[in-house]
């Protein structure tokens, strides 16, 4: 609020008046029912959320005014956002461009499976060469993209020096057993991938060959509610555990979808994406690259995980394939991605 001057506040008030008047017109327009037909109630509920309940459009107006004032008053030299797909980051980059300030976006999460190449920032830092290819394929300008690796994955270099025993001691695991980790996510409303993946895991984990020599761990974010069906004696629950540390002491990661899968491969362990009912095409080509499997029907679960755990040929292929995967999804595994990012930032500051 301290950045908002009287003129900015007046413009926000004007925007609020426009928004209120627009909602009245939308809510009382009989033609809208005719045009939208059966979709009327659903569309109206969304518009009500944006205009009245959450007042999303007013938030956007406030962001525009706030960025304008902050950039001018603080004499900003570079706008750096972690995501220019969401409205907050995109608006920051748009206002920066309007004021002649350079802007930089850094890749957030995995891009594969996200059909967009639109970049609002002047430049974008991406994790690997595969990510760059993906963005170009979807319309991005190659000159906007700078491959550096993901700074968050710099820690992998040091984590690889840890021993299985010290990680097992930390989390109360048995170092004499092969450890299987399942990464659970909070289900998104109206999608079944996470729920069906969990069911597939629970229905089959005890059927894995030599299961008495295995230990099963389930991890999730600390803010993810733990379903009651995961709370059983045969499963060690480790919410909030360091996924890179778990990769040190385990044999494979099972998940519906998660950036943790990329970390596992970087740590030298295969992954299995359980996407029941999905198509054969992979968002991240674990199967094609030879670093894991995508499971699209339950019958594939046991043969795939047993191949990853016990098949010598798969283990050999994985070691050969991992280097290509690193290039595609993290450029280099040398612990210097942060240094490369800082160099990009330094070069863009006028």
User: What does the mean pLDDT of the chain come to?
Assistant: 91
pLDDT in tens, 13-58: 999 999 999 999 999 999 998 999 999 999 999 999 888 887 888 8
In three-state form (DSSP H/G/I as H, E/B as E, the rest C), the secondary structure along the chain is: CCCCCHHHHHHHHHHHHHHHHHHHHHHHCHHHHHHHHHHHHHHHHHHHHHHHHCCHHHHHHHHHHHHHHHHHHCCCCCEEECCCCCHHHHHHHHHHHHCCCCEEEECCCCCCCCCCCCCCCCEEEECCHHHHHHHHHCCCCHHHEEECCCHHHHHHHHHCCCCHHHHHHHHCCCCCCEEEEEECCCCCCCCCHHHHHHHHHHHHHHHCCCHHHEEEEEECCCCCCCCHHHCCCCEEECCCCCHHHHHHHCCEEEECCCCHHHHHHHCCCCEEEECCCCCCCCCCCHHHHCCEEEECCHHHHHHHHHHHHHCHHHHHHHHHHHHHHHHHHHCCCCCCHHHHHHHHHHHHCC
pTM equals: 0.81
Where does the pLDDT of residue 138 fall: very low under 50, low under 70, confident under 90, or very high at 90 and above?
confident
Is residue 288 scored above 90 in pLDDT? no
Q: Please determine, for residue 113, whether its predicted confidence score (pLDDT) is greater than 60.
A: no
Mean pLDDT of all residues in 212-230: 95
With a pLDDT cut of 70, the percent of the chain lying above it is: 96
- Identify the band that residue 259 occupies on the pLDDT scale cut at 50, 70 and 90: confident
């Amino acid at each position: 609020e301290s950045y908002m001057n009287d003129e900015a506040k007046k413009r926000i008030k004007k925007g609020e008046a426009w928004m209120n008047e627009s909602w009245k017109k939308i809510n009382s327009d009989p033609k809208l029912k005719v045009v939208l037909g059966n979709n009327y109630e659903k569309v109206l509920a969304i518009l009500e959320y944006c205009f009245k309940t959450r007042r999303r459009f007013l938030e956007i107006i406030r962001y525009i005014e706030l960025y304008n004032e902050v950039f001018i008053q603080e004499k900003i030299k570079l706008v750096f956002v972690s995501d220019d797909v969401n409205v907050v980051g995109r608006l920051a980059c748009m206002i920066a461009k309007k004021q002649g300030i350079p802007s930089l976006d850094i890749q957030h999460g995995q891009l594969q499976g996200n059909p967009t190449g639109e970049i609002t920032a002047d430049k974008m830092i991406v994790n690997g060469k595969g990510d760059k290819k993906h963005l170009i394929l979807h319309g991005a300008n190659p000159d906007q993209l700078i491959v550096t690796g993901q700074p968050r994955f710099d820690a992998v270099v040091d984590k690889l020096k840890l021993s299985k025993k010290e990680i097992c001691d930390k989390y109360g695991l048995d170092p004499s057993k092969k450890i299987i980790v399942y990464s659970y996510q909070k289900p998104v409303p109206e999608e079944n991938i996470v729920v069906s993946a969990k069911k597939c895991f629970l229905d089959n984990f005890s059927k894995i060959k030599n299961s008495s020599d295995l230990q099963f761990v389930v991890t999730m974010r600390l803010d993810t509610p733990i379903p009651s069906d995961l709370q059983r004696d045969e499963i060690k629950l480790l919410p909030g555990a360091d996924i890179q540390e778990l990769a040190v002491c385990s044999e494979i990661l099972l998940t519906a979808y998660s950036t943790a899968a990329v970390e596992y491969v970087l740590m030298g362990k295969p992954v299995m994406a359980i996407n029941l009912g999905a198509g054969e095409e992979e968002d991240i080509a674990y199967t094609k690259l030879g670093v894991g499997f995508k499971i699209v029907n339950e019958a594939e679960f046991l043969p795939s995980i047993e191949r990853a755990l016990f098949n010598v040929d798969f283990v050999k292929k994985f070691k050969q394939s991992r280097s290509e995967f690193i290039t595609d999804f993290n450029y280099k595994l040398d612990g210097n991605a942060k240094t490369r990012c800082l160099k990009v930032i330094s070069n863009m500051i006028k």
